Amino acid sequence: MIDLFVLNPLSVRIFLMADKKKLDTSPYKGVRDFYPEDMYVLNYITSVMRKTAESFGYSEYGASPIEPAELYKAKSGEEIVSEQTYTFTDRGGREVTLRPEMTPTVARMVTAKKRELSFPLRWYSISNMFRYENPQKGRLREHYQLNMDIFGVSGLDAEAEIIETAWQMMKNFGAKDDDFQIRINSRLILDDIFSSIGIKDSEKTVLLKIIDKKDKISSDVFADSIKKIIGNRSNELLNLFEVNQRILDHLGTDNPNVKNLIGLIERLDSFGIKNIQYTPSLVRGFDYYTDIVFEIFDTSPENKRSLFGGGRYDDIFNLFGGDVIPAVGYGMGDVTIRDFLTEHGLMPEYKSNTDLFICQVSPVSTQEISFLASRLRASGINVAIDLSKRKIGDQIKNADKMMIPFIVCVGEEEIKNKIYKIKNLKSGKENALEEKEISNFIKTSGV
RNA sequence: GUGGCCGUAGCUCAAUUGGUAGAGUCCCAGAUUGUGGAUCUGGUUGUUACGGGUUCGAGCCCCGUCGGUCACCCCA
């Protein structure tokens, strides 16, 4: 209840009926408010993503965050849909889900217009995703995610390009080559290894799960877990996983999947991408990836984790019937990237989008400075005027707090002489200018 | 869904074995009715997350709920 009402007994009586608790001001569990400073960072992140994606010729698409629940049930296990997503029944009895990822949506869209789209297709999207689980570092209930996909190319050209965009993305965020590592593996190579030592399909799923954890658990636990599933065949498997190269040697360079992987790494190397690491234990879930998978890893000791990743997922189009469409792509979330930028000191400094703040000095009226502001906006700069009518010092202080780079105080003198002292709040320097010079001065100031 | 740690002023944090809440900062006013960050003076910070319980007495102890954080599960 508001204090004002508490003072008045009559009001108290009236509002007792409502007797509402004070509303909580914090955001819903696991989601974020974006105050201007936060929005600035999000906008920075998405602008780098957008710029990079478009520099490779990718077109932006979008879709509603709400989808029929079947879209996810068909693809992933029933458990993920019921326990890890926001799924509910709408008023019309339809079961719907807030999208936890973009891939099913984009596959749906591509399939629907397959005949009129010109392949290969290069698409990207920056959209929010939802998942229902307890928040932890790098994983909230809502996050924004860039999705980069290339459809209609079945050879390694697609993988090479998509990984190059990921690498370029990191470079455009200011990362150096040794800040991160690109880990690559092939699901098909794992399959070949499994069949070469007689692993049954029924054992594969559990085995992949353990292999994926190899770097997170001790080698003893790893060996024991493997042994538990495949018994005495584990010796051979563990031996192969001891040294990365051993797996490739075991299958031989005539193996088409090995050939493909080596070709991809050589291609990337020729682009000047050197921070690549063949990582046989890289699995990435076990849902729809069919061949090459890759992950971008943060190499800093404090934040050793996967930043984002993706791979080839040709089979997902089976869901919608019809022909298979080859597809390679990845998803990159804003939360992990934000952590990465913070960790590596790559966060941009906040700056207001307002270029100039006009302080009002009495007896000049708000109307008079409004006219000036309006003319300046027409000349191409963003201008805010004071409405507080407080002391000049306070007006300047507020402008500075809002990180507005320039201010000008307008009073009788300025109106009479038509000369304005444009003050740079960071340096404290003032320049006396005519009105028509102001816009150009600010635009070329580099602030 | 499970577990550890945590929750005191807008923010960062104090408060002795349980004895009715404090500092810095921020904010507001003034010194300074046309120029910010400095200094000085004065001023407001609060149902100690919420709800129960134990006690003469709870910020402190116990139970529950909610939230934060980290991890597990899972990973899109």
pLDDT in tens, A164-185: 999 999 999 999 999 999 999 9
Three-state SS for A144?
Answer: strand
Q: Residue A131 CB closer than 7 angstroms to strand B?
A: yes
Q: Does A18 score more than 60 pLDDT?
A: no
> For residue A327, how far is the Cα from the chain centroid?
20
- The answer to whether residues A86 and A97 touch, using CB atoms and an 8 Å cutoff, is yes
Structural domain ending residue among the three candidates A343, A377, A395:
A343
End-to-end alpha-carbon separation of chain A, Å?
46
Could you tell me if A131 and A236 lie in one domain?
Answer: yes
Could you tell me if A364 and A339 lie in one domain?
Answer: no
Q: Residue A32 CB closer than 7 angstroms to strand B?
A: no
What the block records as the tokens of A191 is 């399959």
Q: Residue A30 CB closer than 7 angstroms to strand B?
A: yes
Domain presence at residue A13: no
* Cα gap A389→A394, rounded to integer Å: 9
Residue A77 binned pLDDT confidence (cut-offs 50, 70, 90): low
Nucleotide nearest to A85 (CA to C1'): B76
pLDDT of A19 reads 42
pLDDT of A22 reads 63
Mean pLDDT value of segment A182-193 = 95
Strand B: which bases are under 7 Å from protein Cβ? 1-3, 27-30, 32-37, 66-76
Could you tell me if A242 and A288 lie in one domain?
Answer: yes
The reply, when asked if residue A124 is annotated as ligand binding, is no
Between A77-81, A332-336, A340-344, A441-445, the lowest mean confidence (pLDDT) is in: A77-81
The reply, when asked if residue A58 is annotated as ligand binding, is no
Could you tell me if A367 and A334 lie in one domain?
Answer: no
Residue A389 binned pLDDT confidence (cut-offs 50, 70, 90): confident
Structural domain ending residue among the three candidates A322, A343, A364:
A343
Q: CATH code at A144?
A: 3.30.930.10
pLDDT of A21 reads 53
Q: Residue A91 CB closer than 7 angstroms to strand B?
A: no
Could you tell me if A338 and A381 lie in one domain?
Answer: no
Domain presence at residue A266: yes
Highest mean pLDDT among A224-228, A235-239, A325-329: A325-329
Q: Which residue has the higher pLDDT, A376 or A6?
A: A376
HSE-up (13 A, CA, CB side) for residue A46: 15
Between A224-228, A271-275, A291-295, the lowest mean confidence (pLDDT) is in: A224-228
Q: Residue A413 CB closer than 7 angstroms to strand B?
A: yes
- Predicted confidence (pLDDT) per residue in A233-278, tens digit: 888 999 999 888 999 999 999 999 999 999 999 999 999 999 999 9
Cβ neighbour number for residue A56 with a 10 Å cutoff: 16
Nucleotide nearest to A80 (CA to C1'): B74
Structure ipTM over 0.90, yes or no: no
Q: How far is the CA of A7 from the C1' of B27 (A)?
A: 24
The reply, when asked if residue A149 is annotated as ligand binding, is yes
Domain presence at residue A19: no
Q: How far is the CA of A294 from the C1' of B43 (A)?
A: 61
In angstroms, what CA-CA distances link A176 with A146, A278, A279, A296, A335? 21, 20, 21, 13, 20
Chain mean pLDDT for chain A? 88
Hits for CB < 7 Å against strand B across A residues 167-226: 209, 216
Could you tell me if A261 and A394 lie in one domain?
Answer: no
Q: How far is the CA of A3 from the C1' of B68 (A)?
A: 28
Mean pLDDT value of segment A306-312 = 94
Range of the domain at A123: 36-63+99-343
Q: Which residue has the higher pLDDT, A114 or A25?
A: A114
Q: How far is the CA of A1 from the C1' of B36 (A)?
A: 37
pLDDT of A11 reads 36
Residue A296 binned pLDDT confidence (cut-offs 50, 70, 90): very high
The model's pTM is 0.90
Q: Does A60 score more than 80 pLDDT?
A: yes
Domain presence at residue A133: yes
Q: Residue A363 CB closer than 7 angstroms to strand B?
A: no
Residue A297 binned pLDDT confidence (cut-offs 50, 70, 90): very high
Q: Residue A392 CB closer than 7 angstroms to strand B?
A: yes
Q: Does A305 score more than 90 pLDDT?
A: no
pLDDT of A75 reads 59
Q: Residue A389 CB closer than 7 angstroms to strand B?
A: no
pLDDT of A5 reads 33
Q: If we measure between CA atoms, which residue out of A290, A259, A264, A291 comes closest to residue A277?
A: A264
Q: If we measure between CA atoms, which residue out of A429, A392, A422 comes closest to residue A406?
A: A422
In angstroms, what CA-CA distances link A374 with A382, A400, A417? 10, 22, 19
Q: Residue A246 CB closer than 7 angstroms to strand B?
A: no
Measured in degrees and rounded to the nearest 5, phi and psi for residue A434 equal -80, 160
Q: Residue A414 CB closer than 7 angstroms to strand B?
A: yes
Could you tell me if A247 and A127 lie in one domain?
Answer: yes
Q: Residue A369 CB closer than 7 angstroms to strand B?
A: no
pLDDT of A80 reads 62
Residue A343 binned pLDDT confidence (cut-offs 50, 70, 90): confident
Measured in degrees and rounded to the nearest 5, phi and psi for residue A384 equal -115, 150
Q: Find the helix packing angle between A234-242 and A219-230, rounded to 10°.
A: 150
Q: Which residue has the higher pLDDT, A75 or A319?
A: A319
What the block records as the tokens of A245 is 């190269």
Could you tell me if A283 and A405 lie in one domain?
Answer: no
Could you tell me if A48 and A180 lie in one domain?
Answer: yes
Q: Which residue has the higher pLDDT, A268 or A316?
A: A268
Domain presence at residue A16: no
Between A5-14, A19-28, A194-203, the lowest mean confidence (pLDDT) is in: A5-14
The reply, when asked if residue A102 is annotated as ligand binding, is yes
pLDDT of A164 reads 97
Q: If we measure between CA atoms, which residue out of A11, A42, A265 comes closest to residue A140?
A: A42
Q: CATH code at A380?
A: 3.40.50.800
The reply, when asked if residue A148 is annotated as ligand binding, is no
What the block records as the tokens of A303 is 């934040």
Nucleotide nearest to A284 (CA to C1'): B75
Q: How far is the CA of A39 from the C1' of B51 (A)?
A: 36
Q: Residue A100 CB closer than 7 angstroms to strand B?
A: yes
The reply, when asked if residue A315 is annotated as ligand binding, is no
Q: If we measure between CA atoms, which residue out of A261, A102, A39, A274 comes closest to residue A171?
A: A274
Nucleotide nearest to A421 (CA to C1'): B35
Q: Does A403 score more than 50 pLDDT?
A: yes
Strand order in the sheet with A419-424: A383-385, A356-360, A406-410, A419-424, A430-434
What the block records as the tokens of A374 is 């309006």
Domain presence at residue A384: yes
What is the SS3 string spanning A180-224? EEEEEEEHHHHHHHHHHCCCCHHHHHHHHHHHHCCCCCCHHHHHH
Q: Residue A285 CB closer than 7 angstroms to strand B?
A: yes
Q: How far is the CA of A137 from the C1' of B72 (A)?
A: 13
The reply, when asked if residue A157 is annotated as ligand binding, is no
Q: Residue A136 CB closer than 7 angstroms to strand B?
A: yes
Could you tell me if A243 and A381 lie in one domain?
Answer: no
Three-state SS for A96?
Answer: strand
- The answer to whether residues A302 and A343 touch, using CB atoms and an 8 Å cutoff, is yes
Could you tell me if A329 and A382 lie in one domain?
Answer: no
Cβ neighbour number for residue A86 with a 10 Å cutoff: 16
Spell out a b/e string for A182-197, using b for 16 or more CB atoms within 10 Å of the CB, else e: bbbbbbbbbbbbbeee
The reply, when asked if residue A99 is annotated as ligand binding, is no
Number of domains in chain A: 2
Percent of chain A with pLDDT over 90: 60
Three-state SS for A157?
Answer: helix
pLDDT of A12 reads 36
Domain presence at residue A51: yes
Could you tell me if A360 and A338 lie in one domain?
Answer: no
Structural domain ending residue among the three candidates A312, A343, A374:
A343
Domain presence at residue A380: yes
